[in-house]
A and B are shown apart, each in its own frame.
Chain A
Amino acid sequence: MGCVHVISLLPLLIIAATSVVVLLAIAVRRNHAAAFGLTLAGLAAGICSTFFTPPNQATQLLLMDRYAFFFMGLLMAASLFIALLSYGYLAAREARREEFYVLLLVATLGAMTLTASSHFTSLFLGIEILSVALYGLIAYLRDRSLPLEAGIKYLVLAGSSSAFLAFGIALVYADLGVLDFATVAQRISSTQSGSALGLLIPGTVLILVGVGFKLALAPFHMWTPDVYEGAPAPVTAFVATVSKGGMFALLLRYFSLSGADRSPRLLLVLSIIAIASMLAGNLLALFSTNIKRILAYSSIAHMGYLLVAAEVSSRLGVGAGAFYLVAYFVMILGALGVVTLLSSGERDADRFEDYRGLFWRRPVLALIFTAMLLSLAGIPLTAGFLAKFYLVAAGADSHAWLLIFVLVVTSTIGLFYYLRVVGVMFHQPASERLVPEPLPRRTPAVSVVLVALSAFLIWFGVFPSPLLRLIQFAIGKIF
């Protein structure tokens, strides 16, 4: 491995180094602000590095191309925002706050590894780095029961799904003797004759289970609402965005490698999973009255929409998927950012009651939340609308009419629960005395970022061209 390879690993190295530096800093002296500052600096440096690092195949495991850099930048930007959110959140709740940032950085590193992996080994490596850090993050508020419960639930389920994944990889290896995506994808899609022992299909299915769990696709979605509800709000945002985003980038890359001639059986399975996710997410959310659970179900549905993009992965499909992922990041981070800001010291603001008449108390926050929810629902002028539009257009391009039909119908069902939340926020309390407990103190930095996210939301919804050009530039290489 030459010097060029090391340089092209720069974003990964920066994040890994930052986590070590933060760890050492904690060993010297505990200081929340210092750990926070170091984390921000590391993430910012990582984001900058994606712009000028030369693309390269760094070892057989990691393909550091522009596609990977694009998603790494996105993931690090999301982590940066989550770190900003966590600062105020932790300050009000937890005595030992510094390790949180170490875990955050390590988890981000795992997700970033996923975006660059071109080999099942790096896939497994990335998932494990991500998951192990996430156990800690989810249960970080140790003295509360909900986060602990969520952490254990995630530990058990993620552990078993990793076992599935490892077993699947082993079966595939036993059959083919190779583990890099390009060869495996080609052998799976080419003909049945590629398989010597007949272990390829079972292996693929087991891998799919592991991946499906990570992305919370139906029928592997059971953990999502509990973990979303139990985890501290910033961690929920991390689970919803960085953890899923990295996995999804990998999925898109894998499918783009196998090209147009994909195994029809695999496609059928994926279609069923996508349809089940869209239906399950949107229908279950209808009966929920907890904001975090609603967002959890909504993210199941959104992963279903995204899978449509993976499935039609023509060039159009990958572009649509990437655009959707960016829009999804903006919306979910915005929504959970508002939830974090509204959370009091005792518990997270996840009940409808916390939002009743919010507009009359905190108009700006309520408007931001409304924008995010409307975008999740896919109302025009927001990024969510164009994102869905590109998805449907990509689907129409490859004549996946059934998927499109389900997508459109379920997303209109989805409207109902988003609107219910919006309705609650605009509901005027019967009398002024009904104003509940004093609101948590304001954190200007987060508010500024939230406003910026809303601006992005509208910007991408009205003038998507710059973002589209960037995506075209990024995915140019993988075709």
Chain B
Amino acid sequence: MLNDSILSLITFVPTAGAFVVAFLPRRGKVIQWFTLLVTLTTFVLTLHLPAHFNYGQTGFQFEQDRAWITSPNIRYHLGVDGISTWLVVLVGFLSILGVLASWNAISTRTKEFYFLFLIQQTAMLGVFVSLDMFLYYGFWELSLVPMAILIAMFGRNRGPQAAIKFFLYTFIPSALLLVALLWLYSKTGTFDFVETQKFLSQYGALLSPQALWWVSLAFLAAFAVKVPVFPLHGWLADVFSEAPTAMAMVVAGKLGLYSIIRFNLGLFPEQSRQIAPLMIALAAIGVLYGALVALVQDDMKRLIAFSTVGHLSLILLGIFCFTVVGLNGAVYHVINHEFSGAAFLILLGILYERYGTYEMSKYGGLAAKLPRMATLYIITTLSLIGLPILNGFVGEFLILSSSFGVHPGWAIAATVTVILNAGYMLLLIQKVFFGPESHLVASHPHSDIVAREGFALVPAAVLMLVLGVASPYWIRTIDTAVSRLAQNVAHVTSTLTTTIAEKR
């Protein structure tokens, strides 16, 4: 019984919470406590999914399929598979971190903030659980609106500009996505993902290959902007430096990457294989570019933005290798990177709350004053660098090892950047926490991590270790969905896939 409606429950608990928030008084921390309660509830609900996940079953689970609009044929169809299950849990967990990170950082207009924050949760969860493509599109577009408003309202200096940039960047390709969806609908007569997939695999050859190519390109472009993939990343740095921490945590990465895996690989395997060389090249360039630009940033938020471009490009590399290992690594790295990146952004936010600047050069010698914060910073940094036994290592290793078999040249370039990653992250740590005490640090009172921040960050740090050591537990779930997908896409590279899978 619960299995049928659990996904609706997960998706719409935040919305219900948002409407309660709209009527709460602005006194004290009422709104914060209530939002925390809502996010905790959502998170506990999401844990139902892995707990009752059926490993033997391929395809989608926890499905709910109801009629919604009869003409055109649009259904309310939800469901998750091994890929989306953990992403849903991830969104649930990050939302708690988001509330804790905004606890003091958002001091004015709290009601507006938490209302939009919760709507944003619903939109993101909806993207991961929708199996009707119209429904999916609705959530996808919806996820842009609260984000843009929040960036405009809470931007540091140039909020509105960053918001409009973000919106236009992401919305124009999304509109073309709608045209592509409608084209598919006019051929298949359904918006249902599963049925469309079946139709395309059976009758895809009957459709005009040129039209299919354009349609798959429209899908890919919409998602690639949202990731963002290398030449389309123009919005990211501005959004990162303007958006409040809780929003910067979730703006990039998982939505776009998940959609690429789900739709481009799922619906258009043939076209994806054709475009793979280009995507792999862009991914490798992105990895290198992100690291190199991050190396010269002084603003730590911009630094982390470019580092994010690098990491996301690495994931893209894993996806377009079309091996089971690479895809496993890609999905796992999405989770890990979102997670560690979020933790790092929270840490940056904490620093900003205390000292009022993101400029690295103004800091120095913090480690002696704030030992606990320094510890957390270093653990998160090591996780982002990809140190073995921490979570970042697993995904990176899987992606790189599988890509060597497929495209050694690009793989070497990407691997070299691992060193660069370590370079700029450690440089940041060194500048901020070690060396002589700077004027800024000396002139401010010191307060180390407080209980609320610890409540968010210590479990995160522990999880980084757990995710790094016990990766098979998660990958087992992801593997159920990914292996079928990889079979679909890459019969060309099948020999390689099996050999690597056997080794593992």
Contact = CB atoms under 8 A, between A and B. Distances in A.
B168 interface: yes
A167 interface: no
Q: Return the 5 tightest CB-CB contacts between A and B, nearest first.
A: A380-B138, A380-B141, A412-B175, A396-B186, A412-B172
Nearest to B187: A396
Nearest to A413: B172
A381 B138 contact: yes
B202 interface: no
Given A393-B182, A396-B186, A409-B175, A427 B71 contact: no
Interface in B4-28: none
B168 A416 contact: yes
Interface string B170-185: 0110011011001101
B152 A393 contact: no
Contacts of B137: 380
A385 to B, nearest CB: 8
A392 B179 contact: yes
Nearest to B70: A465
Interface in A113-159: none
Contact of B175 (A381, A408, A468): A408
Contact of B72 (A393, A416, A426): A393
17 contacts: A380-B141, A393-B185, A393-B186, A396-B185, A412-B171, A412-B175, A415-B167, A415-B171, A416-B168, A419-B164, A423-B160, A426-B149, A427-B160, A428-B109, A465-B69, A468-B69, A468-B71
A459 interface: no
Chain B interface helix/strand/loop/mixed = helix
Interface in B430-458: none
Contacts of B168: 412, 415-416
A154 B346 CA distance: 59
A404 B138 contact: no
A199 B176 CA distance: 43
Interface residues of B, number: 30
Chain A's interface size range is 20 to 34
A405 interface: yes
Interface of A: 374, 379-381, 385, 389, 392-393, 396-397, 404-405, 408-409, 411-412, 415-416, 419-420, 422-423, 426-428, 464-465, 468
Nearest to A395: B182
Given A426-B149, A426-B153, A389 B178 contact: yes
A381 B139 CA distance: 9
A395 to B, nearest CB: 9
B163 interface: yes
B47 interface: no
A281 B368 CA distance: 62
Contacts of B153: 426, 428
A404 B179 contact: yes
B68 to A, nearest CB: 8
Contacts of A415: 167-168, 171
A378 B152 CA distance: 20
B163 A423 contact: yes
B145 interface: yes
Interface in B125-150: 137-139, 141-142, 145, 148-149
A396 B138 contact: no
A8 B366 CA distance: 85
A381 B137 CA distance: 11
A257 B153 CA distance: 51
